[in-house]
Amino acid sequence: MAAPAQEPGTTRTKRHALATWQGPERRFDLIAEGTVAVVVVALLCVLAASLWGSPNGGLTYPKGPASPPGQAFSAKYWDTNDPSDLTQTAVQELLGGSKTAGYGPPFNTTSGASQEIAGIRPAEIAKSVFGLTLPINTADDFVLAPVSRLAAPFDPAVAAAVSQYKAAGGDLSPGAPATRLASPQQTVWLNNYARALADPSATFTPTSATVGPGDYGPVPVIIQAEQLIAQNGSLDGYFQSSDQQLSTNTTKGTMFFGDGGLWADIATAQGVAGDQWGVMNELWNYPGQVWLWLYAGMYQIPALNPSGNANLDLDVGLLMILFGFLLPTFAPWIPGINRIPRWIPLYKIIYRDYYRSTGGGHPPAETPDEPDPAPSSPTT
């Protein structure tokens, strides 16, 4: 028999959840709970900061000068505090012997530089599809181009040196491989000058490098010009310049700094090097970027041989895809993994009050819905 139709204009009584709840109840003070949570987390943060706190900023390293908090690394700082390192790095950029020059895609086409796994080189595959997404020619981008733009127009000797150097050959095209950056003649000049700079008799100032006589070609004039524009701050401005009105892209400058030794010395002194879980640390913030523990931890796995594994970055990237994305996403369907909550029943501790109230783990019996009110009698 069909239920009688509801009269127009009448309303249906809705069940009130609190009025019909038959399960256990208890008072809950949201303010008190929130206060306790904030205090506990604050104390844990202070404890973590005291044990693993990030550096307070500034540029400090063994036997280095005092550095005020907040001072940033720059070409001027580099040249002022370690001109020997800057000059030798600039020579290696011209020669194609730096880390950036030999990195391979996405920066250059250096052969055999791409990391691989099982004979597959993802960077080479990406290059064949997208090309070099950030082509860098270390000889031109880090030395010759800034010297030509910032020093050569104001010093005929520098202009003549740059012209002589370029006339000797060398590939200055964007993304050129490391083996083609310097011609045979340029290689002779650069190797001779590199050996002279490394000799204990060489002396350095922020604006010059003094070495014994030798066949260096125009290289000493170019390197001295690089020092001059680093010392007056214009090299930093060059690296920060952009075709756009505002630029925050410091990639090329950072890569140039990273090819030198002082950058690594400061990172190690501040505890932010790779073997010091450095990616988790961040200046001024405590206790650091703790959400990156998984990524940083991958570099500490002895089986990956962090010190001698040429494919370490690729290995870590693939492990991050596996453990950071695929495993959490498909864990409920992976045999064995989906049984872990039953083997380690932490959920029973979290929901202990609930299981205690249900007397054995069964949820409270459902309360039937209140019946609809009987339809009113039709009026006559």
Q: How many other CB atoms are found less than 10 A from the CB of residue 88? A: 21
Q: Please tell me the predicted confidence (pLDDT) of residue 260.
A: 96
Confidence of residue 65 (pLDDT cuts 50, 70, 90): confident
Burial of 168 (0-12, 13-18, 19+ CB in 10 A): middle
pLDDT per residue over 280-302, tens digit each? 766 655 556 777 888 888 888 88
In SS3 terms, 129-175 reads as HHCCCCCCCHHHHHHHHHHHHHCHHHCHHHHHHHHHHHHCCCCCCCC
- Residue 314 to residues 100, 212, 258, 298, 304, Cα–Cα distance (Å): 17, 44, 20, 11, 11
Confidence of residue 163 (pLDDT cuts 50, 70, 90): very high
Confidence of residue 156 (pLDDT cuts 50, 70, 90): very high
Quick check: 84 and 197 in contact, CB under 8 A?
yes
Residue 62: what residue type? P
**pLDDT mean over 188-217:** 96
- Per DSSP (E only), the strands in the chain are 203-205, 208-210
Joined tokens for residue 297? 């931890």
The domain spans of the chain are 75-263, 270-332
Q: Which residue has the higher pLDDT, 130 or 52?
A: 130
Joined tokens for residue 363? 């949820």
Question: How much is the pTM?
Answer: 0.74
Q: Please tell me the predicted confidence (pLDDT) of residue 287.
A: 57
Residue 56 pLDDT > 70:
no
Residue 154 pLDDT > 80:
yes
At CA 188, angle to CA 182 and CA 194, rounded to 5?
90
Cα–Cα distance for residue pair 30/36, rounded to 1 Å = 10
